[in-house]
Amino acid sequence: MPDKKPGDTPGDAAVEKPGELSGQEAASAVPQRQPSCVLCGCCLEGCPLFAATGREELSPRAKALLAGPSKFAALPEGGLPEADVAALCSLCLACGRCEKLCPQGVAVPALVAALRAAHPDFRQWLWKQWITRLAPFWGLAGAGAALAPDALVPERLGLALKGLRGLRPGAGLSPWLSITHFPVDACRQRTGGRPVAVFDGCVGGGPRRAWAETTRFLLRGLDSAPVAARFSCCGSTLGAAGLPQEQAEVRRANVAAWREAGRPLVVAYCATCRKGLVDYVGAGGDIFSDAGEEALWRASVLPLSALLAGARGKAGRGAPAVVGYHRPCHADVRDGLGDADHALLSGLLGARLRTPAKGGCCGFGGIMQLSAPQLSGAVGRACWDTLDGALGFTAAPEAVPAYVLTGCSACVLQLAATAPAGARVGHWLEIVRCS
């Protein structure tokens, strides 16, 4: 609370009102060591929200200006009205594309997460329950959502409900790709013979168990028997939603499970999970016992596709003539391996695989699906337009199917929810034959 100056009245800006973020509070909501935005605009071309709407107030520059340290330093003591802060918080997909383009190193998703944490609302509570308590019931919820007639679903819930349908048992693509060569020696070289534990994540560990089963099949082909580890959610969606305490809890639990399993390699097949796990490094919060353990964790998290690099496959019955690839925003993580899923699929599918030169964001955004479904849906549809540009399924529907693979559970659900009629989308694991 700022000091009261002579002449201040209850109506003066110097008096803190309920629901406002004072300059001091706002500054404490900003992550430590955040650099200042210099308004250069380099981030604009990467922001899917800005691209889909053309609205500067939704851009990363606007968020960095309003929520970054430079602005808070210059704020009048009265602060920002809470309604404005809350609106700002909800309108970000946490895709991280702006961060990669920013010469200053401004981390807009972290700024937004801090503001969400400072201003919790019912959506965060809902998201927390959904992720931490209701995951065992996602399949059931998906089956229920599939029964709900579209005409009876309120527009605001339409996108979330369509996403839910993607979680119903039996959803997914039919397999058509047989692996004819497993790169056993190359895999052994990469792993150094260390044991492997699979990080299934919330979706692969729940309603899409088929992903987990195919992963075990592939690891057997690589002559690697995974060790058991009781992992939970990676925590990235909790952090982005402004739930730092819950995020820290699942991070600590996952590292404890890894420790208990003998500190094996941790293989993930969801791009967002993999990024979420890599982000434990440098996050603080007593996750690791010491710097050595932290360094070992960093070296231990790998994408499944990296172990399969060099695999060969044969397309069988049911293979589409052309397959699109959606590159998840979180495919590029700080482990130097790049988009290993794309590299693997390029090798396995050759010319059959088409990838948009400039891939779009699917528009999922976690909690944003609840707070701004129209924007989330608009970004998703723009993403499908980009895929259509690379595949041409609208121009030649008889010859080219709208068939898309990706490597992120959130992208699968969001692309399924925003797909044009007749389009199919799935995780690349779904096309692999387990025989």
Interface contacts to ligand SF4, rule CB under 6 A: 37-43, 46-49, 60-61, 63-64, 92-98, 101-102, 104, 106, 108-109
Residue 94 or 340 with smaller CB distance to ligand SF4: 94
Question: In whole angstroms, how close is the CB of 103 to ligand SF4 at the nearest point?
Answer: 6
Residue 96 or 142 with smaller CB distance to ligand SF4: 96
- The answer to whether 256 and 127 are in contact (CB under 8 A) is no
Residue 114 or 431 with smaller CB distance to ligand SF4: 114
CA 209: distance to chain centroid? 19
Question: In whole angstroms, how close is the CB of 369 to ligand SF4 at the nearest point?
Answer: 13
Distance CA(232)–CA(230), nearest Å, equals: 7
Residue 89 or 202 with smaller CB distance to ligand SF4: 89
* Nearest-5° Cα angle at 330, 222 to 367: 125
Question: In whole angstroms, how close is the CB of 59 to ligand SF4 at the nearest point?
Answer: 7
- The answer to whether 211 and 429 are in contact (CB under 8 A) is yes
Distance CA(48)–CA(39), nearest Å, equals: 18
Residue 60 or 79 with smaller CB distance to ligand SF4: 60
Question: In whole angstroms, how close is the CB of 92 to ligand SF4 at the nearest point?
Answer: 4
Q: Which of 341, 85, 158, 116 is nearest to 245 (CA)?
A: 116
Question: In whole angstroms, how close is the CB of 418 to ligand SF4 at the nearest point?
Answer: 16
| Amino acid identity at 284 | G
Question: SS3 letters for 362-415?
Answer: CCCCCCHHHHCHHHHHHHHHHHHHHHHHHHCCCCCCCCCCCEEEECCHHHHHHH
Buried b (16+ CB within 10 A) or exposed e, 178-204: ebeebbeebbeeebeeeebbbbbbbbb
Q: What are the DSSP calls for 155-181, one per residue?
A: HHHHHHHHHHHTTSTT-SPPP-EEEEE
Residue 204 or 242 with smaller CB distance to ligand SF4: 242
Compute and round to an integer the Cα radius of gyration of the chain. Answer: 23
The shares of helix, strand and coil residues in the chain, as percent rounded to the nearest 5, are 50, 10, 40
Residue 89 or 425 with smaller CB distance to ligand SF4: 89
Distance CA(39)–CA(62), nearest Å, equals: 9
Residue 7 or 105 with smaller CB distance to ligand SF4: 105
Question: In whole angstroms, how close is the CB of 192 to ligand SF4 at the nearest point?
Answer: 36
Distances (CA, A) of 391 to 45, 73, 397: 23, 49, 10
Distance CA(405)–CA(420), nearest Å, equals: 15
Question: In whole angstroms, how close is the CB of 328 to ligand SF4 at the nearest point?
Answer: 13
Residue 111 or 304 with smaller CB distance to ligand SF4: 111
Question: In whole angstroms, how close is the CB of 154 to ligand SF4 at the nearest point?
Answer: 25
- The answer to whether 359 and 386 are in contact (CB under 8 A) is yes
Distance CA(332)–CA(272), nearest Å, equals: 10
Question: In whole angstroms, how close is the CB of 379 to ligand SF4 at the nearest point?
Answer: 8
Side-chain-facing half-sphere of 398: CA atoms under 13 Å? 0
Residue 86 or 212 with smaller CB distance to ligand SF4: 86
Question: In whole angstroms, how close is the CB of 29 to ligand SF4 at the nearest point?
Answer: 17
